[in-house]
Amino acid sequence: MCGIVGYIGKDDAITVLLDSLKRLEYRGYDSAGIAYRNGKGIEIFKIKGKIDELQQILPTPLPSVNVGIGHTRWATHGAPSTENSHPHCAGGIAVVHNGIIENFRSLKMQLLAEGCEFSSDTDTEVIPHMISRGLTQGKSLKDAITETLSGLRGTFAVGIMSETHPSTLFAVRKGSPLVIGIGTEEFFFASDIPALLPYSQEFVFLEDDQMCTLTATGVELECLKTRQPSLFYERIMKVDWTPAMAEKEGYDHFMLKEIYEQPRTVADTCVEWIKDPQRLLDESGLTMDITVGLRRLQIVACGSSYHAALIGRYLIERLARVFVDVDLASEYRYRHPIIEKGTLIISITQSGETADTLAAQREAKHRGAATLTICNVVGSTSSREADSVLYTRAGPEIGVASTKAFTAQITALTLFALALGIRRGKVTLKEATNFKSLLMEIPGMIQEALKKDAEIRDLAKGLSQAKDYLYLGRGINYPISLEGALKLKEIAYIHAEGYAAGEMKHGPIALVDEGLPVVVLAPKDELFEKMSSNIEEVNARGGRVICITDEPGSLSRNVDNVIQIPRVHYLLSPFISVIPLQLLAYHVAVLRGCNVDQPRNLAKSVTVE
Ligand code: AGP
């Protein structure tokens, strides 16, 4: 994903821009650039390479300027090159852009026919040319900007500065996240909150088709299409994240830091409502008539959040005795879902910006369903569009591979299921008290599971060259087998499949041959004996069994490797069984020299369908 930043105010713009861009590096990029305005007009410095290399080409000493824009580029249209880097400039207009302009080719053809000269292969470069054309037609700068951006199809977040308006910046959102940071006599914009954490904890999250005009003394917000003014200061949201939360703090990778943060983030998500889980329902905005009259839940999500949703189904059906359907968000609307009275749709999304999940949430809302989102980012699109919100307290998750957000989602789902069960009279207060005390032990149990890190790192040494993996689980640990496989796929680039162990005889067992690593989740629960049979089946065909269990003594000798985890209540076992799988994927990826935090082809938030 590209990243855009902008600054206007009393401080040194270049220093702020470079620092903010560095805080967006986790998004992955191949080139970077900044534009600022000094006495002579707009100066642009950009390079194919990292931000450190960009700094090398800047003037020394750095000029003292108070307004500028910056960009990290993750190439979509046009190969990585200095020419294709942003900012792009034409006619005294400089632009940075995150997203895709679907109709740029026809626009570019028109501009070329009018004699415009292009210096890049990007879609972005049509924007400054179109704005400049509007200016030569006598339009005001704002009119030229709104006319240009209204004529673009696709998704974008755009930052614009102009030579003729040295004390103004423009920020426009249509489909790609864009946040405005509020300082003292200074304002910022950025693609994501971590870029601005050292400068502000007060933000306004732009909505689609909103244009923000920023000066050092104030901000105006308006609709791009209608030009209707919108409230700005009344929409400020306070985010209690600190800059340190978005830094590695001594870990080799964000992912490892976030794996180790899980005892605290699970506790943080718990502590808010553990005393009175029903307060979670009220505070999330779910009215009593929705929760008491609830007949069916439909949960929509993608990726790891989808795996959390599958775990949520076990929890909610067991504790609250409500029907739960779980859909991949990208498939949901194509099955023309039936939404009867008493249906609640839950979207689960760490970023709150996943296009497929937003589309499913909007579809459900359009069909008349009440919507709840379980989300980790305050002010994100999902949290603003849903009827009710349940925030997880995982803090910023920087690593592309979701870990702490995943266990925070399970925490929220556990509390939600318990609260619903109590409200619907399916869980007695005594049972609730007992379950809550078990849940409060989970952070400590995760801490215990993390102590196996070194053992798992050693195990990974003999597994990093395997070409295929199978992950097997049953019951509430079946989704964990899917999650473990996804972790390995996305950061170690190894083909891995998660399967319901009971499915082995229906096909997958044909895959088992000499040395195939098969990770088996076998906590000593009601399904342990059946998992033991799966172990024998794999072993008999030469597969290499890596068993995650809380009862190694009960295992046969036919297990090649055992990772022991603490024993917990069946419904809480996913919190623990996922830890060794996160660590295994991490260590295998490191051994394979993969870019753990920014794996190839992936983005932290998939804001396009
Ligand atoms: C998980 O490790 C991946 N990063 C990915 O599957 C992710 O869970 C998915 O894209 C959903 O993202 P969201 O939770 O922000 O909606």
Contact between 524 and 567 (Cβ < 8 Å):
yes
Per-residue pLDDT reduced to its tens digit, 321-348: 999 999 999 999 899 999 998 999 999 9
Q: What are 393-412's pLDDT values in tens digits? A: 999 999 999 999 999 999 99
Give me 208's structure tokens.
Answer: 């689609």
Which of 272-276, 446-450, 472-476, 595-599 is predicted least confidently? 272-276
**Is the pLDDT at 592 greater than 80, yes or no?**
yes
Residues 377, 394: Cα–Cα separation, whole Å:
9
> Quick one: pLDDT at residue 287?
81
Ligand 1 centre to CA of 117 (Å) is 40
pLDDT tier at 291 (50, 70, 90 boundaries)? confident
Q: Which band of pLDDT confidence, cut at 50, 70 and 90, is reported for residue 4?
A: very high
Nearest to 399 by CA among 20, 19, 27, 18: 27
| 75 touches ligand 1 (CB under 6 Å) | no
- The closest residue, in CA terms, to atom 3 on ligand 1 is 401
pLDDT tens string 506-526: 999 999 999 999 999 999 999
Which atom belonging to ligand 1 lies closest to the Cα atom of 490? 2
Among 129-138, 281-290, 407-416, the minimum mean pLDDT is found in 281-290
The answer to whether the CB of 1 is under 6 A from ligand 1 is: no
* 201-208: average pLDDT: 94
Closest CA to 472 of 515, 514, 408, 530: 530
* Binding site membership of 402 for ligand 1 (Cβ less than 6 Å): yes
More confident residue, 427 or 79: 427
Banded model confidence at residue 243, pLDDT cuts 50, 70, 90: confident
Q: What is the pLDDT of residue 168?
A: 96
Q: What is the mean pLDDT of residues 415-426?
A: 94
For the segment 562-573, what is each residue's pLDDT rounded down to a tens digit?
A: 999 999 999 999
With a cut of 90, say whether residue 104 has pLDDT above it.
yes
Q: Is the CB of 303 under 6 A from ligand 1?
A: yes
- CA distances to 31, 159, 214 from 225, in Å: 32, 17, 18
Query: ∠179-182-184 over CA atoms, to 5°?
Result: 160
Quick one: which atom of ligand 1 is closest to the CA of 357?
Answer: 16
Query: Tokens representing 527?
Result: 């399904």
Per-residue pLDDT reduced to its tens digit, 46-99 = 999 999 999 999 999 999 999 999 999 988 778 889 999 999 999 999 999 999
Confidence grade of residue 551 (pLDDT, cut at 50, 70, 90)? very high
Q: What rounded mean pLDDT belongs to the chain? A: 94
- What is the per-residue pLDDT for 51? 94
Q: What is the pLDDT of residue 295?
A: 92
DSSP string, 502-530: GGGGGTGGGG--TT-EEEEE--SSTTHHH
Query: Quick one: what percent of the chain has pLDDT higher than 70?
Result: 100
Contact 71, 32 (CB under 8 A): yes
Residue bearing the bigger pLDDT, 600 or 359: 359
State the pLDDT confidence band at 247, using cuts at 50, 70 and 90.
Answer: confident
Average pLDDT over residues 481-496: 98
Average pLDDT over residues 577-583: 98
| 211 dihedral zone (left: phi>0; alpha: psi -120 to 50; beta) | beta
pLDDT attached to residue 74 = 84
pLDDT of 161 strictly over 90: yes
Q: How would you classify the pairing of strands 370-375 and 388-391? A: parallel
Residue nearest to atom 5 of ligand 1 (CA): 303
pLDDT attached to residue 285: 84
What DSSP letter does each residue of 263-322 carry, written as one string? Answer: HHHHHHHHHTTSS-HHHHHHHHT--HHHHHT--EEEEEE-HHHHHHHHHHHHHHHHHT--
401 lines ligand 1 (CB under 6 A): yes
Tokens read off for 502: 């009971």
User: In angstroms, rounded to a whole number, what is the distance separating the alpha carbons of residues 518 and 320?
Assistant: 34
**Does any ligand 1 atom lie closer than 6 A to the CB of residue 373?**
no
The confidence band for 363, taking pLDDT boundaries of 50, 70 and 90, is very high
- pLDDT (tens digit per residue) in 145-160: 999 999 999 989 999 9
Q: What is the pLDDT of residue 26?
A: 81
Query: Distance (Å, rounded) from C-alpha 521 to C-alpha 482?
Result: 11
Residue 533 has a pLDDT of: 94
Mutate which of 192, 259, 304 for ligand 1? The one with the most ligand atoms within 8 Å of its CB, which is 304
Token representation of residue 401: 């591979």
Cα 500 to averaged position of ligand 1 atoms, centre (Å)? 21
What pLDDT, on the 0 to 100 scale, is given for residue 228?
95
pTM of the predicted structure, to 2 decimals:
0.90
> Would you please indicate which residues are annotated as catalytic (active-site) residues?
2, 604
Q: What is the band of 271 on the pLDDT scale with cuts at 50, 70, 90?
A: confident
Task: Using the predicted structure, report yes or no on whether residue 609 has a pLDDT greater than 80.
Answer: no
- Give the other-Cβ count within 10 Å of 254's Cβ: 24
Q: Is 606 in the pocket of ligand 1 (CB under 6 A)?
A: yes
Cβ of 349 below 6 Å from ligand 1: yes
What DSSP assignment string belongs to 371-417? EEEEESSTT-HHHHHSSEEEE-------SSS-SHHHHHHHHHHHHHH
The per-residue b/e assignment along 477-505, b for 16 or more CB within 10 angstroms, e otherwise, is bbbbbbbbbbbbbbbbebebbbbbbbebe
Average pLDDT on 366-382 reads 93
- Asked if the model's pLDDT at residue 262 lies above 80, the reply is yes
**Residue whose CB lies within 8 A of the most ligand 1 atoms, among 192, 302, 353, 601, for a mutation test:** 302
pLDDT at 361 over 80: yes
**409 CA closest ligand 1 atom index:** 14
Mean pLDDT of 14-36: 93
Residue 37's pLDDT is 87
Q: Picking from 232-236, 279-283, 384-388, 531-535, which range would have the lowest pLDDT averaged per residue? A: 279-283
